Structure 1
Amino acid sequence: MRRPPPLSALALLLCALGLAPAMALAQSAPAAEAAPGTAAPVNAPANAFPYYSAEQAMQGLYGHHLPPLAAAFEAQAQALAGSAARHCQGQAPLAELRAQWRQTLLAWQSLSTPAVGPVVQRRSQRQIDFWPTRPELLRKALEKAPQTLPDMDRVGTPAKGFPALERLLFATSAAPAATRLDAPTCTYVLLSARAIVVEAQALKTALDTLAAQDWAASPEATGTAMAEWVNQWLAGLERLRWAHIGKPIQSHQTSGKGGAIAFPRQTPEHNLADWRAQWQSLRAQARLSPTQRQTPPEPGQALVPLEALLIGKGQLALAQRWAQALDRADAGLAQLQPQSGPRELQALTATLQAVTVLFQNEVAAALDIPLGFSDADGD
């Protein structure tokens, strides 16, 4: 059967509007027990889980989970701009600036994976994490020597943000012995860092507003947000599995060219740290922690992972298979090393693909959420 054409994020939300009643999860029903004569699932939760509503799921996500991540990203972005300013003034070594870039990138991935709410609406990934960077466009931008943030607004997204900063901070001409960026490059790096601060502040403001939202007051908006979260979780997984790992390997193999595989980041260490940050963020929203299995998330007072939603709906066997699939992916990421080659990476993508298939075939249906294809889908 021919796959439907990709939908924009807005179209995805619109198509979900009429389905909000079906997506509202019943409240306060007990979790289903194992059928008579059958064994309880291995690692079954110690306590009965509530039947979480869509309102409680969204309050957990937007009221308790995302705001601290937005605050952390804003703080790291400010630290990046501060480190860049000190470096340009000769008061901080290049090593410090590089280290702060890494920390800010990981904070960004923790917030933006999966991309939901204002991250989607503002197209933040495109604004500050566009990949691949266009070296020629970056060279021309440096030649124009922007001096202010409004000047940076006229620079194309492939020449700024995290990938462009990485290229400048870790370029061959600046590594490994160099201790200082030249003045024009330093100014450009500082402005790029400040542009990231602007986006981080906007995201924090938007998420602080959503944290105070009464999700029970608007079932339609809640249904839309729930559909976006579930769909974008899958899109985030596919972005990691395919766009960031699988596709670069495939493109390299089919091109017949030698050299390094063109992964999003410049070094194996950066790529591995980036992939792990993305996965940990996806996992946090999908898998119960050991503590949560003993004490279920309090409705409306904590993030409700997808596993908890399944258990609350009585889908114990599916929840167990879902947890096992996530744990296998978790182990695959943990086993990777910076020097891991295509064989190990393709084994990981196969493990992630199994999570995708289970999500598409069973998990989304069990949650009564229709799946669509967004522009972040990774295909």
Structure 2
Amino acid sequence: MNTAHTFQERRRLLTGLLAGALLPASGAWAQTAGRALAFPYYSGEQALQGLYGQHLPPLARAFEREARALTAAARQHCAAPGSSGALKDAWRRTLLAWAALSSPSLGPVIERRSQRQIDFWPTRPALLEKALKSAPQTLVDMERIGTPAKGFPAMERLLAGKPSPAHCPYLVLIAEGIEAEARALRAGFEEPATRDWTADEEGARSAFAEWINQWLGGLERLRWIHIEQPVQRARTAGKGHQPEFARLAAADNAAEWRTQWQALRAQARLRPEQIAMPPQPGQGPIPIEGLLMGKGQIALAQRWGTALDAADGAFQRLPAKPSDAALMALSKTLKGVTTLYQNEVAAALDVPLGFSDADGD
């Protein structure tokens, strides 16, 4: 018997049977390490169970934990003014925990417009000065402060150079505001973590489509808004202008970009152990690559993995202080992922791509 021919026939048959919407089906086969490996078909409800039940809640708890530590560090810094190193380190850890949770923005992050509340950039220096002069005393007072004068960017600006002791009360309020948002997000992710997605077919379909769309939105936010757009604007402004990235320090930008990419990749690429043993519904997250495998889209899944690996390599090659040319090369590689996703991956998952009111937050 021609084994290769049999495998190809089986794959074509399964592809035809499984092409379609989120309905139960049997599974698909892939050639891995020289052997046939069965991938079960994953429904949208099962994908949501892994995403909201097992993947996102630990990230929300980690963000809350780091945000509590940030508030404690701000209070400690203000109780004994001196070096701001410990507070800056706490800011970095909290920022990266936030980046891991919000890439892409999903569920409560969208509903609460958290991106706008705690990570609106660029900071408006004039608005920040006005906020400092108003001397808010409580978080209720902070509600009257514009978002460009709060959150991670505002705290970073106040910590730049040698922080003024006069800014201490405001630094603590910024930290408390971030902690309050982190606490609300952790609570917000508790409900979908226990939801029975099979009980509401329309709700599940909407949530699945939101995930697929927001994943692309998260990638484009990283590629275009965080990396390429600042470079393009500096070039348009003329010689001598430097790109204005989200963070003041090059190392902080690079660390955040890598964290955002790793968070997106975790939802998109099968881990080596998942390739060796396909993820089982209810036992963990099911990445987009796994969904493609389960639908019989073997060749597309392989090209998808290759595109993601190329992006991994581009991030690994990025120097500590990348030139504009290096950043544009990285953006070009990420654009390849975007193009494949727009042209083939989303269609294979039967999800139309569009825009939500959260895309620009």
Instruction: Compute the displacement of 1:297 (Å).
Output: 1.3
Equivalent in the alignment of 2:207: 225
Comparing 87-96 with 150-159, which one deviates more in the overlay?
A: 87-96
How well do the aligned residues superpose, as a CA RMSD in angstroms? 1.8
1-side partners of 2:360 and 2:139: how far apart? 31
CA separation of 1:186 and 1:265: change in aligned 2, threshold 3 A? same
**In the alignment, structure 1 residue 89 sits paired with structure 2 residue 79:** yes
Secondary structure of the residue aligned to 1:31 is strand
- AA aligned to 1:164 is A
Query: CA offsets, 1:306-363, max 9 Å, x none?
Result: 0000000000000000000000001111111221101110000000000000000000
Secondary structure of the residue aligned to 1:374 is coil
Instruction: Compute the displacement of 1:378 (Å).
Output: 5.8
Work out the number of aligned pairs and report it.
343
Equivalent in the alignment of 2:229: 247
2-side partners of 1:24 and 1:148: how far apart? 50
CA separation of 1:352 and 1:278: change in aligned 2, threshold 3 A? same
Equivalent in the alignment of 1:63: 53
Secondary structure of the residue aligned to 2:268 is coil
Equivalent in the alignment of 2:155: 165
Equivalent in the alignment of 2:250: 268
- AA aligned to 2:169 is T
CA separation of 1:299 and 1:29: change in aligned 2, threshold 3 A? same
1:62-141 aligned at under 5 Å gives the runs: 62-90=52-80, 93-141=83-131
CA separation of 1:123 and 1:43: change in aligned 2, threshold 3 A? farther
Native 8 Å contact 1:45 1:294 kept in 2: no
**In the alignment, structure 1 residue 146 sits paired with structure 2 residue 136:** yes
- AA aligned to 1:138 is L
Instruction: Compute the displacement of 1:147 (Å).
Output: 1.2
Equivalent in the alignment of 1:29: 26
- AA aligned to 2:186 is K
Native 8 Å contact 1:318 1:363 kept in 2: yes
- AA aligned to 1:95 is G
- AA aligned to 2:258 is R
> Post-superposition, which runs of at least 4 consecutive aligned residues in structure 1 deviate over 3 A?
42-46, 375-379
Native 8 Å contact 1:59 1:211 kept in 2: yes
TM-score normalised over the length of structure 2: 0.91
Instruction: Compute the displacement of 1:259 (Å).
Output: 3.9
**In the alignment, structure 1 residue 307 sits paired with structure 2 residue 289:** yes
Native 8 Å contact 1:23 1:226 kept in 2: no
Native 8 Å contact 2:113 2:358 kept in 1: no
| Runs of 5+ unmatched residues, structure 2 | 1-18
- AA aligned to 1:147 is Q
| Runs of 5+ unmatched residues, structure 1 | 1-21, 34-39, 175-180
- AA aligned to 2:136 is P
2-side partners of 1:257 and 1:362: how far apart? 40
Native 8 Å contact 1:242 1:378 kept in 2: no
Equivalent in the alignment of 1:178: none
CA separation of 1:164 and 1:91: change in aligned 2, threshold 3 A? closer
Instruction: Compute the displacement of 1:49 (Å).
Output: 1.1
Equivalent in the alignment of 1:206: 188
Equivalent in the alignment of 1:215: 197
CA separation of 1:354 and 1:378: change in aligned 2, threshold 3 A? farther
Comparing 91-100 with 128-137, which one deviates more in the overlay?
A: 91-100
Instruction: Compute the displacement of 1:32 (Å).
Output: 4.2
The answer to which structure, 1 or 2, has the higher relative contact order (CA under 8 A, 6+ apart) is: 1
1-side partners of 2:271 and 2:40: how far apart? 16
Instruction: Compute the displacement of 1:301 (Å).
Output: 2.2
2-side partners of 1:43 and 1:235: how far apart? 34
Query: CA offsets, 1:125-159, max 9 Å, x none?
Result: 00000011101101111111111111111110000
2-side partners of 1:48 and 1:63: how far apart? 24
TM-score normalised over the length of structure 1: 0.87
2-side partners of 1:319 and 1:239: how far apart? 23
Identity rate, percent: 57
Native 8 Å contact 2:223 2:331 kept in 1: yes
CA separation of 1:115 and 1:45: change in aligned 2, threshold 3 A? farther
